[in-house]
Amino acid sequence: MANNDKAERRARALEIAGILIRNGFGFLVNKWGLAGRQSRWRMPQRYPRPHEKQTQPERVRRTLEELGATFIKLGQVLSTRSDLLPAEYIAELAKLQDDVPPVPYEDIVGMFQQELGGPPEQFFLGFNPVPRAAASIGQVHDALLLDGTRVVVKVRRPGIEKTVDEDLAIMKDLAEFLESNTSWAKDYDLVGQVEEFAFTLLNELDYTREGRNADRIRRNFSEDPTLYVPEVFWELTTSGVLVMEEIEGIKVGDHAALDAAGIDRHQLARRCAHVALVQVLDHGFYHADPHPGNFFVLEEPEGVIALIDFGMVGRADEKLRRTMNRLALAVTQKDVDRMIDELTSLGAMRGKIERQGLRRDLSHLLLKYDNLPLGKMSAGGMFNDLTQVSQRHGLQLPAQLTLLAKVITMAEGLGRDLDPDFDFFGFAKPYFKSFYRRAYSQRALKRRLRDGSIDLLELGLDLPQRLRHTMDQLDRGELTVTSRVELEDEVIGRLERATNRLAISVLVAGLVVGLSYLTSAFRPEGTRQFGFMFLEFLMVSGLIGGIYLVVSFWRSRK
């Protein structure tokens, strides 16, 4: 069985390499070792050249679509990582289409037999065999429950788990190979990034998790009538089948239908921004794919927003939200030093931070937005600029922050699409202030003090034992202290040149003083030949030593 798995993985790797070469990325196959690490993986040398009119970002997108479900999801995740990819790639990956031919109805019936123990007709009054939409992971069908309730049914594609497992295993092997052979892969913790992506994707394959995400967001908005979340019918939901209430509303991007229904688009823009900001700042649990296709506007009650598709969610703990809030405050106050402190605390440093250069670039960034009205500022543009500065100075911002920024940016774009005059920054300001007051309220500070006191108490209880262990090591001579001083090459060079100059100066001074003393003190009465020969020997020796040090000094400068 294990041999079959390996053979299937090799076959899939061969297929991936062929698709890469066919789309003009053969150099990656050779560079990453896909074709050479196993002789059975060697690829044909000639394939049709890619369409010359396509840009490289376009070819990347088309290649990911051709590679299938796992790589489409990877591209969708990467479309949120403006800290990793240039803007033109981000824009292209955001267009990724997940449309594939539907699964035959017979296979859907088989999935129902496997998941629920019977065909769809056993559980539904009506079930449309033609899917409403088909994607690489699953497809959606319209149905009626036995009591006549209209529902949508998500059914996972048969066999998709095996394909995803093979692709993830190949990705992990490739990440380990790159980390062993390149420095950039180590800097970005490529294996860790692949493992995080695998965790997200495997969760998305389990429809019970999507149902729980919907339930959690519904509970969070239980006292807020702004948002409506469809009901999950758990008696018919499994890891491979999800049954949810049908939403009948107007798509938020259909401006003509909104106007015909008398929906105030300015108010709707504010509600969309409200939903995003409350999820991010108040709940710390948010819908991570808020594109217009997932927003509907209900006509009854009028103007209420309905949200669908809860497969991708994000989490922001209180520490991240506090840091983000302080960073936003530093930007509005044009406090560059505070911005540096917050960015440093957010980013994993891949090297030494040159604070003066970072300070200069952040000052230039603030000048770009100086005296610009809030209504003209773009949250997405500002975050992209901030990301580029961070990258340039070796700061890798956490994935949670980039995903969170994507949600805020999409909410801003949705609001301005509904109302071009919508001032997102002005609208969001009270939300940030409210979060700040809560985060530093007396109650919150007491809670943090209590948590810190517990950590301090545990440290105090453990300290005597650890101190005794350290003293025992010291008594046995097993304690080693290593100290390392790191200096810049320029400083070391200056110190070396100064030391060489000092040595030459001492030598010359000593030679002059010594010879002067000997010349004045040496007064032979007899023959002078031996005395003068000795004096000449000393002079020549001193000159040779001086020349040697000068040559050594010159070589050290080389």
Tell whether 400 and 456 lie within a shared domain.
no
DSSP annotation of 295 reads: E
CA distance 65 to 67: 5
Work out the mean pLDDT of the chain and round it to a whole number: 79
239 domain residue, yes or no: no
CA distance 358 to 339: 10
Please report the pLDDT score of residue 179 as a whole number: 80
Q: From 396, 408, 346, select the one nearest 192 (Cα to Cα).
A: 396
Please report the pLDDT score of residue 350 as a whole number: 61
313 domain residue, yes or no: yes
236 domain residue, yes or no: no
Structural domain boundaries, residue 83: 2-98
CB of 257 within 8 A of CB of 240?
Answer: no
Tell whether 328 and 406 lie within a shared domain.
yes
Tell whether 306 and 454 lie within a shared domain.
no
What would the pLDDT profile of 467-513 be if each residue is shown by its tens digit? 777 776 776 666 666 555 554 555 566 667 667 666 666 666 666 56
- The yes-or-no verdict on residue 312 having pLDDT over 70 is yes
Tell whether 528 and 429 lie within a shared domain.
no
Please report the pLDDT score of residue 48 as a whole number: 47
Tell whether 428 and 370 lie within a shared domain.
yes
60 domain residue, yes or no: yes
Q: Which residue is catalytic, options 83, 167, 289, 423? A: 289
User: Which of 50, 65, 98 delimits the end of a domain?
Assistant: 98
Tell whether 528 and 379 lie within a shared domain.
no
- Does the predicted model carry a pTM greater than 0.85? no
124 domain residue, yes or no: no
What total number of domains does the chain contain?
A: 4
Q: From 48, 21, 45, select the one nearest 32 (Cα to Cα).
A: 21
111 domain residue, yes or no: no
Annotation says 289 is catalytic: yes
- The region of weakest confidence among 55-64, 159-168, 170-179, 445-454 is 445-454
400: Cβ contacts below 8 Å, ≥ 6 apart: 314, 315, 316, 320
355 domain residue, yes or no: yes
User: What value does the mean pLDDT take over residues 330-338?
Assistant: 83
249 domain residue, yes or no: no
Tell whether 359 and 461 lie within a shared domain.
no
431: Cβ contacts below 8 Å, ≥ 6 apart: 277, 278, 281
Tell whether 294 and 425 lie within a shared domain.
yes
- The yes-or-no verdict on residue 237 having pLDDT over 70 is yes
Tell whether 451 and 552 lie within a shared domain.
no
Q: From 331, 310, 306, 142, select the one nearest 227 (Cα to Cα).
A: 306
What would the pLDDT profile of 356-412 be if each residue is shown by its tens digit? 888 899 888 888 877 776 667 777 778 878 877 887 887 777 777 777 888 888 888
Tell whether 468 and 435 lie within a shared domain.
no
Tell whether 324 and 262 lie within a shared domain.
yes
User: What value does the mean pLDDT take over residues 237-255?
Assistant: 93
Residue 313 half-sphere exposure toward CB, CA atoms < 13 A: 24
Please report the pLDDT score of residue 43 as a whole number: 46
Tell whether 277 and 381 lie within a shared domain.
yes
pLDDT-derived band at 41 (thresholds 50, 70, 90) equals very low
Please give the distance of CA 429 from its chain centroid, rounded to a whole number.
26
